[in-house]
Structure 1
Amino acid sequence: MAEPRVTSFTSDALGTSDAVELSHRLTRKEISPVELVEAAIARAEALGPTLNAMAHEDFEAARLNARLPRSGFFGGVPTLIKDNVDLAGQPTNHGSAAWTASPARHHSPFVKHFLRSGVVPLGKSRLPELGFNASTEYVDAPPTRNPWNPAYSSGASSGGSAAFVAAGVVPIAHANDGGGSIRIPAAACGLVGLKPTRGRTPDDLVHTIMPVRIIAEGVVTRSVRDTAAFYRELERTYRPRRLPPIGDVTGPSSRRLRIGLHRDSPVTSPDAQVGAALEDTAQLLRNLGHEVREMDSLVDEQFVEDFSIYWQMLAALLRGGGQRIFDPSFDPTRVDTFTAGLADAFMTNRAKLPGVVRRLRRSSRLWSQRCGDYDVVLSPTLAHTTPKLGYIAPGQDFDQHFSRLLQYVAYTPLQNATGDPAISLPLGRSDIGMPIGMHFGAGPGEERILLALAYELEQARPWPLITEPADTLSALPAQVQPRSTV
């Protein structure tokens, strides 16, 4: 039986095009920014009540911006900004009900550069409170749903962006990643999600002063070329001196790679369906001429404990300093049960923090120490298939929640500690048709290798997208019901 899907693809100005194709159509004047933004608004209004992917909408500002002269490669392409960075004129609430944010006065550093590519934001996308959970769910609010099957999680923390990109509302959307938050929702929603090398994209000041800079900015897209174009365009206005440029990656490389197969983490092994997708991907790589060899686990139980304690420290910092960091109205008693559980756990572990920070900083040497024989490391993005909503939702017993989370996100945090790049590609499918992500990591500054490999895999095995067109958006009810597709 086919799974129920929620889509917005139709024969409007957006069609089924990715952002690069829309850019070309804009250049040829086949469509206009106004037409694209109006189409995206209609799609957002149609799917919003079902997917619950937007934290704040400002359609009038989007309409106004679409009428202004647009420059940049993506000039006129609609997008979303995740609700944990500032977009001037709109509130930034970080997915939390602990305070009500006032409109931001200025763009964050990343948003400033992203807007220079010409994108037009419709508003802010949803995330779980403070970005800590791996599912975009709440204690007292509806969850963000997965368009492949609305009974399932869209992942997190960039779950709102991923849901609306997968469903066709926008072709590209902002995401950021502090433990897998670009790659996890990309895997759950069948998208391309590249976490860049530390320093590749502009950071907010608060991130740069943290003891370990685990957060990186980026996007989620439906095609490899959209992700590659985003980084090419970003480099026109932001070029980190310490990293080699990515440049314009437009297709596969002829270079054959040495690929390490990383199967098991210290926490868990992949479940049967994820394991089968991993083996299938490894065989595909071999068929394409790459050398694939088994390798030992990259991290040990100490790393898992260290990253967990660092995570807990961030929750304690934000809960305790929320009035200073966010807003004087921040009420620490109103954070959700998961944030509170993390913060409370840190009170038990805080004496370990100096050693945690020291070891996590040292992890930046891991690629040269353990992966020097490989160009790329392959693993699953997530250890098991996408869970149903509720499985890792806040409101349950914290110990159970945290244990489930560690079992789910067993592979992605490593690159946040090391600062290395990694990409999730939707190369597998579960027995009910849900996407399964495969994860590829490379050495520092090696995004070009990952993008070229991603192009090759996309061409060798194109992944399915939710592109069933509706006859007309006007025929869609205000609340779109999940519908079966064959």
Structure 2
Amino acid sequence: MHLDEYTRYDGMGLAELVRRKEVTPAELTQAALDAIARVNPKLNAVIDVREADAKNAVQQGLPQGPFTGVPFLIKDLALHAAGVPTDLGSRLTKGLMLPFDSFLMERFRRTGVVLLGRTNTPEFGNNATTEPVLHGPTRNPWDLGRSPGGSSGGSAAAVAAGIVPVAHGNDGGGSLRIPAALCGVFGLKPTRGRNSIGPNSGEAINGLGIEHVVTRSVRDSAAMLDATQGPAVGDPHYAPPPERPYLEEVRRGPGKLRIAISRKAASGVPVSPDSVAAVEDVAKLCASLGHDIVEAEPVYDNEALLEALVTVWSSSNAFLVQMLSTALGRTVGPDTLEASTWAAVEHGRALKATDLQAAFAVFNQVSRAVGAFHANHDLLLTPTTAGPPYLLGEMDSNKPRSAGEWYRFVFSLIPFTALYNVTGQPAMSVPLHWNAQDLPIGVQFVSRFADEATLFRLAGQLEEARPWSVRRPPVHAARDV
């Protein structure tokens, strides 16, 4: 299958070709391998190509599902596939391997995807760029000198460059939405509890971490969530089940929505004219589609929220590093951890149990305030990031600084996303705007708790009104590179 043809289809489109016997899973697998060979030397999005495993899975026969035969990549963080290493982007845990699939990986496999390999991630997902010391930087296919974002930057770059139409990612502070915004693809963070992260953990980062995929099309995201959503035995969080399949929602009109818009960051950090222009452009598009646009934003104590997030992320890092270093018998220190992670670990070790409880109290207060705001607004529209894709090296995680300094610096570039990891609400980044330099500037929509349906309805409407899949970055599998 020629790469120009392969990259014209989304995941469901490729699966339909397989069902009609117009192409075989083996041919799709080879096309994806060809795409990796063509663009990955420039991007470093894929860090582990499992060619033999993929071909063996195809030969043995794939489950019949919505994505049978579709090439698929998993992020090198949190998700476990039996017999596949999970480095977590860190020298400390390089080569970590488990003999079983996580619950979500089992559900991915049941969709019929062909696992091709792993994508790059920053160390333990602790950055909004993807430049780990272990595997080196992933580059943005729209501009090789810029970051694809993080922490699902490898997955977003792979999807944007046409390697695969769907790739796994996760989101503990924006890590699906940020790279989607900076790579010009679609990224939805589901409601807390929508996808299981078991069995090794009940929750990630004390409930902040959520699992899903980045995609080129809205329907692929919806169909994958239909296939993976629902609790597993022992899960601590529960998201009310959807009224109907999300794939059906994509095809349904959203009706007239009340959409609040906000252009400024609650922290007061500068927001670039590009990000402001993106919000205003998309607000006009929504108004032209019949939606009510109002100027409004939730009010909460942002300074207290920042302090609480530093506490929770640092304590989570300290526990994770302690658990893994003990299990692997490895030494923890500046030689095995990047400077920002080491700072977070040291800070986390110094925290008291009461500090963590105080942080959870802040999370509760903020969630109540934001929930009350959304009782009167169907959606909130914001920038996804404070500006266009940042330059590689700008978010250097190996530069010595305190945990508080590090996380506040990260927040200065991505001030809009982590709030909704705290509240647990679903949120999506939609690729509807490019700046004068032809760089993607994503916008974020947030809905009420457990209301992915409204997001998918609006996303389907926006995708039809302003299709984005026709836009290809300079580094793309179907281009000469």
Tell me if 1:424 matches 2:429: yes
Give runs of aligned pairs for residues 289-328 of structure 1, distance below 5 A: 289-299=290-300, 300-324=302-326, 327-328=328-329
- Picking from 2, 5, 17, the partner of 1:25 is 17
Matched, 1:217 2:190: no
Shift of 1:219: 0.3
Aligned to 1:3: none
Partner of 1:249: 249
Alignment of structure 1 residues 329-340 onto 2, 5 Å = 329=330, 331-333=332-334, 334-340=336-342
Q: Cα deviation per residue 1:350-390 (whole Å; 9 max; x = unaligned)?
A: 46322102221444434432221101111111111110100
- Contact kept in structure 2, 1:262 and 1:298, CA below 8 Å: no
Distance, in Å, in 1 between the alignment partners of 2:25 and 2:472 is: 24
Mapped contact 1:9–1:470 kept (Cα < 8 A): no
Is the Cα contact below 8 Å between 1:182 and 1:195 reproduced in 2? Answer: yes
Determine helix, strand or coil for the equivalent of 2:441. strand
Please state whether the residue corresponding to 1:270 is helix, strand or coil. coil
Identify the residue that residue 283 of structure 1 maps to in structure 2. Answer: 284
49-58 vs 146-155, which moves further: 49-58
Q: Look up the match of 1:83.
A: 76
Deviation at 1:320, TM superposition (A): 3.1
Change (3 A) 1:99 1:292: same
Task: Show structure 2 runs of 5+ residues with no match.
Answer: none
Query: Could you tell me the TM-score, scaled by structure 2's length?
Result: 0.90
C-alpha distance in structure 1 between counterparts of 2:152 and 2:254, whole Å: 33
Aligned to 2:318, what secondary structure does the other structure show?
Answer: helix
- Report if aligned partners of 1:392, 1:401 keep a CA contact under 8 Å in 2: no
Residue 302 and residue 471 in structure 1: after superposition, are their counterparts in 2 closer, same or farther (change >3 A)? closer
Query: What is the match of residue 88 of structure 2?
Result: 94
Q: Residue 244 of structure 1: CA displacement?
A: 3.0
- Contact preservation (8 Å) 1:11, 1:469: no
1:228 maps to what in 2? 222
In structure 1, the residue matched to 2:263 is 263
Task: Note the alpha carbon deviations across 1:216-254, whole angstroms, 9 max, x for none.
Answer: 110000111111111223359979673334513232415
Matched, 1:369 2:372: yes
Provide closer, same or farther for how the CA distance between residues 146 and 469 of structure 1 changes in structure 2, counting only shifts above 3 A: closer
Q: Distance in 2 between matches of 1:126 and 1:210?
A: 19
3-state SS in 2 of match to 1:21:
helix
The question of whether the paired residues in 1 share the 8 Å contact of 2:434 and 2:440 is answered with yes
Q: What is the alpha-carbon distance in structure 1 between the residues aligned to residue 442 and residue 40 of structure 2?
A: 25
CA distance in 2 between counterparts of 1:237 and 1:401 reads 34
Cα gap change, 1:383 to 1:206, in 2 (>3 Å) = farther
- Where does 1:59-138 land on structure 2 (aligned, <5 Å)? 59-70=51-62, 71-84=64-77, 85-138=79-132
Map of 2:415 onto structure 1: 410
Q: Tell me, what secondary structure is at the counterpart of 1:26?
A: helix
Greater share of strand: 1
SS across alignment from 1:331: coil
Superposition pairs of residues 138-177 of structure 1, within 5 angstroms? 138-139=132-133, 141-177=135-171
Amino acid at match of 1:448: A
Q: 1:465 to 1:407 in 2, by over 3 A?
A: same
Aligned to 2:28: 36
Alpha-carbon distance in structure 2 between the residues aligned to 1:290 and 1:340? 47
Q: Which moved more, 1:223-232 or 1:261-270?
A: 261-270
Between the aligned partners of 1:246 and 1:95, the Cα distance in structure 2 is 37
Deviation at 1:336, TM superposition (A): 0.4
Q: Write the letter of the residue equivalent to 2:68.
A: G
CA separation of 1:237 and 1:155: change in aligned 2, threshold 3 A: same
- 8 Å CA contact 1:113, 1:237 repeated in 2: no
Deviates more, 1:26-35 or 1:349-358: 349-358
Q: Which has the higher contact order (CA 8 A, sep 6+)?
A: 1
Q: Which residue identity lines up with residue 321 of structure 2 in the other structure? A: R
456-465 vs 117-126, greater mean Cα deviation:
456-465
Q: 1:9 to 1:296 in 2, by over 3 A?
A: farther
Give 1:310 deviation, angstroms: 1.3
Contact 1:246 1:447 in 2 (8 A): no
Matched, 1:49 2:35: no
**Residues 311-348 of structure 1, C-alpha deviation per residue, up to 9 Å, x if partnerless?**
12222222333324x62235344110111122234456
Contact 1:319 1:335 in 2 (8 A): no
Q: Does 1:388 align with 2:382?
A: no
Equivalent in the alignment of 2:464:
459
Instruction: Confirm or deny: 8 A CA contact 1:146 1:189 kept in the other structure.
Output: yes
Q: CA deviation digits over 1:421-458, x for unaligned, max 9?
A: 00000111122111111000011110010011011111
Q: How far apart, in 2, do the equivalents of 1:263 and 1:445 lie?
A: 25
| CA pair 93-168 structure 1, distance change in 2 beyond 3 A | same
Specify whether residues 313 and 206 from structure 1 end up closer, same or farther in structure 2 by C-alpha distance, changes over 3 A only. Answer: farther
Aligned partners of 1:112, 1:140: CA distance in 2, in Å? 28
| d(CA) in 2 for partners of 1:9, 1:345 | 52
SS at match of 1:55: strand
Distance of aligned partners of 1:109 and 1:362 in 2 relative to their CA distance in 1, 3 Å threshold: farther
- Secondary structure of the 1:277 match is helix
Distance 1:295 1:177 in 2: 26
Identity in percent: 34
Task: Give, in whole Å, the separation in 1 of the partners of 2:122 and 2:447.
Answer: 28
Would you say the 8 A contact 2:102–2:199 is kept in 1?
Answer: no
3-state secondary structure, aligned to 1:249:
helix
Normalised to the residue count of structure 1, the TM-score between the two structures is 0.89
SS in 2 for 1:75: coil
Deviation at 1:271, TM superposition (A): 1.2
Aligned twin of 1:448: 453
Deviation at 1:472, TM superposition (A): 8.0
Distance 1:336 1:241, change over 3 A: closer
Correspondent of 2:188 among 183, 191, 194: 194
